Amino acid sequence: ELQQQIYENVYWGHLNNDNSEAEAKELTEEYIAIPGTSEHMTGLAADISDPALYHLENGLITEFEDTATAQWLYENAADYGFILRYPSDKEGIIDVKYESWHFRYVGRENAQYMDGNNLALEEYIAILQKNEAIREQISELSE
Ligand SMILES: [Zn+2]
* pLDDT(135) > 80: no
Strands (E), 16-75: 45-47
Residue type, 27: L
Distance 87 CA to ligand 1 centre (A): 12
pLDDT digits (tens, 9 = 90+) for 47-90: 999 999 999 988 999 999 999 999 999 999 999 999 999 999 99
* pLDDT(3) > 90: no
What is the rounded CA–CA span in Å between residue 116 and residue 110? 10
Written as one string, the DSSP assignment of 74-127 is HHHGGGGTEEEEE-GGGTTTSSS--EEEEEEE--HHHHHHHHHTT--HHHHHHH
Give percent of the chain with pLDDT exceeding 90.
Answer: 71
Distance 93 CA to ligand 1 centre (A): 18
136 is an active site residue: no
Q: Which of 8, 75, 99, 123 is catalytic?
A: 99
Distance 34 CA to ligand 1 centre (A): 13
